[in-house]
A and B are shown apart, each in its own frame.
Chain A
Amino acid sequence: MSASAHEFLRSAAEKSADLTHRQIIRKGIDQYNTSAERGRSRFADWEAARQRCHEIKWEAENNLDRYLLEFEQKVKDRGGHVFWAENSEQARQYIADLATQRGVTKIVKSKSMVTEEIHLTPALEKLGIKVVETDLGEYIVQLREETPYHIVTPAMHLTRTQIRELFKDKLGDVDTDDPPQLVAAARRSLRREFFSAEMGISGANFLVADAGMIALTTNEGNARLCTSLPSIHVVLAGIEKIIPRLSDLATLWPVLATTGTGQPITCYSTLAGGPRWKGEVDGPEEFHVILLDNGRTEILADKNEREILHCLRCGACINACPVFRTVGGHTYGTTYMGPIGSVLTPHLRGLNEFQHLSYASSLCGACADVCPVKIDLPRHLLHNRRDAAHQGSRPFVERIGFHIWRWGMQSPARFRFFGWMARTGARLAHSLGLTGTFLDPARAWTKNHAPPPVPEKTFRELWGKQNGAR
């Protein structure tokens, strides 16, 4: 078992027993569910909306080179720069070099999971640059020196009391747990940063090929300030974020808002295309878009896994997942959590180290039901499991066990024999008082369950008796 798997199990056990934590998450998810349900009902045909989004992303990913090249050209026509990064290191280096060359001392960042993926902030801080998260949830976890708990609502695991303590400690001039006052305190503290930073970094919800613009879906206004006030705007985005046309946003914007937060559309659906033009009042002098591969082309290469790249990063699957609801976002220990994280991480960071995430699911299918682009997430979890087994990285006992299982299942006599062994073993363990103890062969089950009653006769025996042996 990998080190990550060990840590996952440890944390999962801890969080599964933490009823307070589970209650906080349950409450947050319930609120989301109410909003999302209301949101879906605003569509005349929600299934048609999902299908359209699937089609848009299918077209984008299956013609990826064409649309990326079109996007690149249009960005350049607008006076922007495009840099292609194969991996985290190249992306970090580009941004670090740019910041150093321009004498940047402070950077304001809007929320971007891909910047977490490449661990950008520590690299910039090492150069002595101050990096300020401006999305409120990200700002809060940054002050707590934690990673985001959820890709859309990074601080959903915290109560207002905890945030009060945090702000009292880190901001000094505030001592309240009233949410509007906490938000006002964050606004005051961050406003200075927006107006004094030399560089703003954002992600992109979409890269629009036919316009050479990036699209940002936000509510707070922090991304707008990050992309309007500093003199350099840097965008980091995975290559899969491309969409063919501006008009595709007529469906993608409301769908993303609905599954992300339950809104008809978010407050600010922004299109940023280039530095300020001659004659414009304000805006950055420079615009840089970094297109990141970092394992995405590998996923693209397998036509049966390619749809994983359709993901809009809306978080709906995470909210629907009963495993997430039980263990929370930090247990996963990865940038992307929940169902999409469990599917994606083994691809991006290695099946050997992270296959346990694809196994940590009961395959209930709630995620596939809610995915706005119709990704069959459970099937991809099964594919990862299949690949792990093929690779030979599964535990030896398990491999032998299923070889024996196969042998047993190919003959009714062996099948009956296995059944008899299980029943006899269970009865024996029970009569010797071993059930639930260290010596109980079924301890993995009896640890958490009262032992099941063992039937005297099997179905076959009873059927045979009723209907005469065949």
Chain B
Amino acid sequence: MAPAENPARERILEKIRTALREPAPRHPSLEGRRIFAPVEGPLDRFQKECAANITECTVTPDLQESAHFIAGALAQLPPGEIFIQDSPMLRRLAPAWQNGREIRWSSEGAPHEASQATITQAEALVALTGSVLVSSSCGGRGATVVAPVHIVVATLDQLVPDLEAVFARLREREIHMRNSYVCLITGSSRTADIEKILVMGAHGPVRLLVVLSRDSN
């Protein structure tokens, strides 16, 4: 906003500059102490964390097997449209999913309200927390939150040990520079707002499936 439209801006900045003439006291540093224990065996850890946060994680030998597994999962869902991120990899695997299903590709637009499931790739997976990093490149913002079932097609080379590593990856690949939206997803949506009782499936997906292929090809 132009200065004339927002005169408060200069006044606030001036107040801040005046306020900060003296630094506040701070606690002495605790040098060299590790906040998290290093992750041993990332794949095992990822699977363990997924079980804890109720992500359905399946490990397959290759992408063809992943496609086959997903076809099986889709067959169990009620009839209705499936929304898929339009990427070369998912275009290649899609024939396995066309079995009498309407498919809407992300290139056609945002997912419809009544989609039964969305299928997307991920930017990375995090072993420490059993999380999936997605961005608006993964079929858009709605693709990873709108439908009751979200299926992630991932490969083992996308797995990083912890949060420091995922932010390093984000920085290296400039994921946040190429997207308006990034989200670290850990499990399916939930709430404990009623008597602190955990209920799965609030406004986001009720089920999150991560299908992880050992082979990236």
Question: Which residues of A are in contact with B by a Cβ distance under 8 Å?
Answer: 27-28, 31-32, 43-45, 47-49, 51-52, 54-55, 58, 61-65, 68-69, 78, 81-86, 90, 134-137, 140, 153-156, 158-160, 163, 179-180, 182-184, 186-187, 190-191, 194-195, 211, 213, 219-222, 224-225, 227-229, 239, 246-247, 249-251, 253-254, 261, 264-277, 280-283, 291, 293, 297, 300-301, 303-304, 306-307, 374
Bound-complex Cα distance A266 to B185 (A): 8
Are A49 and B35 in contact, CB atoms less than 8 angstroms apart?
yes
Q: Which of A43, A65, A82, A266 has the most CB of B within 10 A?
A: A65
Picked from B22, B110, B201, the residue with its CB within 8 Å of the CB of A187 is: B201
Are B176 and A267 in contact, CB atoms less than 8 angstroms apart?
no
Tell me, rounded to whole Å, the shortest Cβ–Cβ distance linking A288 to chain B. Answer: 10
Tell me, rounded to whole Å, the shortest Cβ–Cβ distance linking B82 to chain A. Answer: 15
Tell me, rounded to whole Å, the shortest Cβ–Cβ distance linking B171 to chain A. Answer: 7
Bound-complex Cα distance A105 to B180 (A): 26
What are 27 residue pairs bridging A and B, where the CB atoms are less than 8 Å apart in the complex? A47-B30, A54-B27, A64-B16, A69-B13, A84-B8, A134-B203, A136-B194, A153-B196, A155-B194, A156-B196, A179-B195, A183-B202, A190-B203, A228-B141, A228-B142, A228-B181, A246-B171, A264-B128, A265-B184, A269-B184, A270-B183, A273-B182, A276-B180, A280-B136, A282-B136, A282-B140, A291-B12
Q: Tell me if B121 is interfacial: C-beta within 8 Å of chain A.
A: no
Are A221 and B145 in contact, CB atoms less than 8 angstroms apart?
yes
Bound-complex Cα distance A135 to B6 (A): 32
Q: Tell me if B29 is interfacial: C-beta within 8 Å of chain A.
A: yes
Are A281 and B136 in contact, CB atoms less than 8 angstroms apart?
yes
Picked from A81, A163, A291, the residue with its CB within 8 Å of the CB of B194 is: A163
Q: Which of A84, A156, A160, A261 has the most CB of B within 10 A?
A: A84
Tell me, rounded to whole Å, the shortest Cβ–Cβ distance linking B195 to chain A. Answer: 6
Tell me, rounded to whole Å, the shortest Cβ–Cβ distance linking A92 to chain B. Answer: 13
Tell me, rounded to whole Å, the shortest Cβ–Cβ distance linking A114 to chain B. Answer: 15
Bound-complex Cα distance A4 to B129 (A): 45
Are B190 and A267 in contact, CB atoms less than 8 angstroms apart?
yes
Main secondary structure of the interface of B (DSSP, over half): loop
Contacts of B24 in A (CB 8 A): 58, 61-62, 303-304, 306-307
Which residue of chain B is the closest to A248 with respect to CB atoms?
Answer: B167
Q: Tell me if B42 is interfacial: C-beta within 8 Å of chain A.
A: no
Are B189 and A221 in contact, CB atoms less than 8 angstroms apart?
yes
Contacts of A49 in B (CB 8 A): 35
Which residue of chain A is the closest to B182 with respect to CB atoms?
Answer: A271
Are A82 and B1 in contact, CB atoms less than 8 angstroms apart?
yes
Picked from A27, A154, A268, the residue with its CB within 8 Å of the CB of B183 is: A268
Contacts of A283 in B (CB 8 A): 136, 140-141, 180-181
